[in-house]
Structure 1
Amino acid sequence: MKEEYFKWYSPHLHRDVEMLVFGHAGFPVILFPTSKGSFHENRDMGLIGSAHWFIEQGLIQIFCPESNDAQSFYHKGIHPHQRIQNHVAYDKMICHEVVERIRLNTPVSKVAMAGCSFGGYHAANFAFRHPGYVSHMFSMSGAFDIRSFMDGYQHDDIFFNSPLEYLPGLQDYELWNMKIVLGTSNWDICYDANIKLHDVLEKRGVPHWFDVRHEKKHDWPIWKEMFPHYLSTIQFN
């Protein structure tokens, strides 16, 4: 399995960014790490290995950027306004420095977004904010409410990065063209969060697969079951 390491200076984050890319060809999948995770976390925890067949067959390429959570949502040493601005900068980095470059260098006009736990939030939030760029969104045990990180602070950027809040008013027709999977379990600590997002999508009439598995904990074993299953739903022709 081909593995490449990339490092560059991000003008949006004003620091160096690291990313691993797995595979030599295929449909592009952006895979976010969990809370404060590194660019190599998904490899180290076996999630990349769970998708090895798709990668080795040249069906997909997986791009694993690092997170910015330690500088945004989890940085309690700065004001909530700066936390959300740091997240907005990360969203711009993913959009302009990763996704747009991928789209320029592959015949595919859209990408897939995926992530586990808080990585599921990043996958869902990016997909719903930029539906014209995203064909598939696979959230595995995601959580979608960022208000708990904001200490009661109110700002439009918080609203427009909280899918449960902005989705009811989103009118972009590309949202209805996206293939959306919400994966969770009845034992998942994020089960209620997934029910809430499922309900919002249902009310909007947005097609999606609400995949509820049974007696599985919020941890890597269930995500390694889900990820290759969800990848198999991509039409590679």
Structure 2
Amino acid sequence: MTENYYKWQSPSLGREFEMLVFGHAGYPLILFPTSMGRYYENKDRGLIESVAWFVQNGRVRIYCPDSIDASSWFNRHIHPSERARNHALYDGLLMDELLPRIRQETGHERVAVGGCSFGGYHAANFAFRHPESVAYLFSLSGLFDIRARAEGHYDDNIYYHNPMDFVPDNSHPDLWRMGIVLGAAEHDISRAQNEQFSGILQQKNIQHWLDVRPNSHHDWPAWKEMLPHYLSLLKH
């Protein structure tokens, strides 16, 4: 399949940023890495290979951006308020640098977003913050509550990047036209959060699918089964 590597100086972050892109055509999917994962993790772990048919047949083009988790939520050497500010810069990169590029390259105004584990947090946070720009959310064993990374600190940045908190107050009309899948494994450390977040969406009458996979765990084998199924739901 077509694979391209990109590196540029990010105005949002003030440093170089890297990304892999798979595919020559199709619906754009931003696929985030897991906690502190790099832009090549989804390739190295076999997740891209699990959806090779969709890529090779021009059904989907997958953008794998780097993460800055080591400078934001997972940096124990800085105050939680600074972690949240750094993550807000990452959100700015996605909106101001990555999204315009995707729109120019694919002609699609709205994108799909996805990710496994902490990548599911990134996908959900971006989707619910910017529903006008996201048509599909595929969260695979994702997390929806960031407060554990804030060690008791709380401010506006944490609120606005914590889906468990800001989604109940969000009434953007595009939330009700997004295709949302919350995937989880039966024996999943994030299953309870997925069920809790599904309840929030139910209370708002936001249609979604809570997909709990039997006899499975919070790990790559389950995610490699989930993602091809979810990509089959994409409508062009």
TM-score bracket for this pair, using the shorter chain length: over 0.9
For 1:154 and 1:2, locate their aligned partners in 2 and report how far apart those are by CA, in whole Å: 43
Q: 2:135 is matched with which residue?
A: 135
Deviation of 1:108 after TM superposition, in Å, equals: 1.4
Q: 1:46 is matched with which residue?
A: 46
Cα deviation, 1:50-76, whole Å, max 9, x if unaligned, reads 010000001110000011100000101
Q: 1:184 is matched with which residue?
A: 184
Cα deviation, 1:24-74, whole Å, max 9, x if unaligned, reads 011000000000000000000000000100000011100000111000001
Deviation of 1:233 after TM superposition, in Å, equals: 0.1
Provide TM-score, normalisation by structure 2. Answer: 0.99
Deviation of 1:104 after TM superposition, in Å, equals: 2.5
Cα deviation, 1:64-97, whole Å, max 9, x if unaligned, reads 0011100000101011111000000001101111
Taking every aligned residue pair, what percent have the same amino acid on both sides? 50
**Aligned residue identity for 2:96:** H
For 1:208 and 1:80, locate their aligned partners in 2 and report how far apart those are by CA, in whole Å: 32
SS for the counterpart of 2:132 is: coil
Given the alignment of the two structures, is residue 198 of structure 1 paired with residue 204 of structure 2, yes or no?
no
Deviation of 1:186 after TM superposition, in Å, equals: 1.8
Q: What is the 5 A alignment of 1:154-173?
A: 154-173=154-173
Deviation of 1:153 after TM superposition, in Å, equals: 1.0
Cα deviation, 1:193-215, whole Å, max 9, x if unaligned, reads 10111000000000001101112
SS for the counterpart of 2:36 is: coil
Provide TM-score, normalisation by structure 1. Answer: 0.98
For 2:40 and 2:199, locate their aligned partners in 1 and report how far apart those are by CA, in whole Å: 33
For 1:18 and 1:107, locate their aligned partners in 2 and report how far apart those are by CA, in whole Å: 22
Q: 1:215 is matched with which residue?
A: 215
Q: Name stretches of at least 5 consecutive residues in structure 1 with no aligned partner.
A: none
Q: Name stretches of at least 5 consecutive residues in structure 2 with no aligned partner.
A: none
Cα deviation, 1:155-201, whole Å, max 9, x if unaligned, reads 01101111111111101000000000000022011000101110000
SS for the counterpart of 2:202 is: helix
Deviation of 1:121 after TM superposition, in Å, equals: 0.4
Q: What is the 5 A alignment of 1:1-237?
A: 1-236=1-236
**Aligned residue identity for 2:40:** H
For 2:189 and 2:106, locate their aligned partners in 1 and report how far apart those are by CA, in whole Å: 37
Deviation of 1:218 after TM superposition, in Å, equals: 0.3
SS for the counterpart of 1:95 is: helix
SS for the counterpart of 2:144 is: coil
Deviation of 1:107 after TM superposition, in Å, equals: 2.0
For 2:75 and 2:107, locate their aligned partners in 1 and report how far apart those are by CA, in whole Å: 38
For 1:132 and 1:104, locate their aligned partners in 2 and report how far apart those are by CA, in whole Å: 17
Cα RMSD for the two superposed structures: 0.7
For 2:28 and 2:164, locate their aligned partners in 1 and report how far apart those are by CA, in whole Å: 26
For 1:59 and 1:196, locate their aligned partners in 2 and report how far apart those are by CA, in whole Å: 32
Deviation of 1:235 after TM superposition, in Å, equals: 1.0
SS for the counterpart of 1:206 is: coil
**Aligned residue identity for 1:8:** W
Which structure 1 residue ranges, 4+ long, deviate > 6 Å from structure 2?
none
Deviation of 1:100 after TM superposition, in Å, equals: 2.0
For 2:6 and 2:142, locate their aligned partners in 1 and report how far apart those are by CA, in whole Å: 27
